[in-house]
Amino acid sequence: MLGICPNCKIRLKEPPFNDRDTNEVMLVIKYRDIVENGSLPKSVEELGYCELCNAKKEDLDEQRK
């Protein structure tokens, strides 16, 4: 996975961290669970946060700067 969230594409090892999950193994397990149940994770724009790693939209915007 190379250090990114499969849903929101935030880089896991770079700040801001703000109580988000950075464990790649746990993110893959969550992702596979969602996909195997016949759906896809909702987008960050839809929820306001990442369904897998809990990164907020503001965290994504801050990291892209």
Q: Tell me: pLDDT of 1 over 70.
A: no
Which pTM value belongs to this model?
A: 0.84
Q: What is the pLDDT of residue 47?
A: 94
What pLDDT score was predicted for residue 2? 82
- Please state, in angstroms and rounded to a whole number, the distance separating the CA atoms of residues 18 and 33: 24
pLDDT tens, residue by residue, 8-65: 999 999 999 999 999 999 999 999 999 999 999 999 999 999 999 999 999 999 999 8
Structural domain boundaries in the chain? 1-65
